[in-house]
Amino acid sequence: GTTFRIFLPLTLAIIDGLIARVGEERYIFPTLSVCESFRPTPDMITRVQGKGEVVKVRDRLRPILRLYSHFNVEPRTKDPCEGLLIVVESANQQRCIMVDELIGKQEVVIKSLDEKFKANKCLAGAAILGDGRVGLILDVAALVQLRGRQGEAAA
């Protein structure tokens, strides 16, 4: 005679995400926005005076966004050739996002963020990962639109 009731909010959303690590933090890229990931070689990277760095991907130059700079996180490496670049796309524009390593692919439940985090337009939400840690879900459209030196802005 036991009755269980489960109430799910209408805003419950699940996305397929690519989990990447930068330092000790974990970030989730929606897989629909990810084109590819690779480890660049030194000859692929060019520094543009006053604009930052670009990488040559399939004969096209793509700006590099250092995720650790945007979120003020200490990375394991600052050299793009020792990390990985994730090519993301939004509105026919692509950027290469530098991360330390890829952890894997996972379906995650999007949780809304507190008011403190809503000021950062590059965050779409958060998710509790399988090991109990929190991963921040990135808003790829906002990341692609970043302007300024190396396409970075302080969080």
Which residues, 6 or more positions from 32, have their beta carbon under 8 angstroms from its beta carbon? 16
Angstrom distance (rounded) from CA 134 to CA 13: 16
Question: In the chain, pLDDT over 90 holds for what percent of residues?
Answer: 63
Res. 51 pLDDT band, cuts 50 70 90:
confident
Task: Tell me which H or E stretch contains 133.
Answer: none
The arithmetic mean of pLDDT across residues 40-51, rounded, is 89
Tokens of 54: 């670009």
Which of the two residues, 99 and 52, has the higher pLDDT score? Answer: 99
pLDDT number for residue 12? 66
AA identity, residue 64: I
Is the pLDDT at 56 greater than 70? The verdict is yes
Angstrom distance (rounded) from CA 36 to CA 28: 14
Tokens of 137: 């879900």
pLDDT number for residue 5? 86
pLDDT number for residue 154? 32
Task: Look up tokens 């090519």; give the residue.
Answer: 87
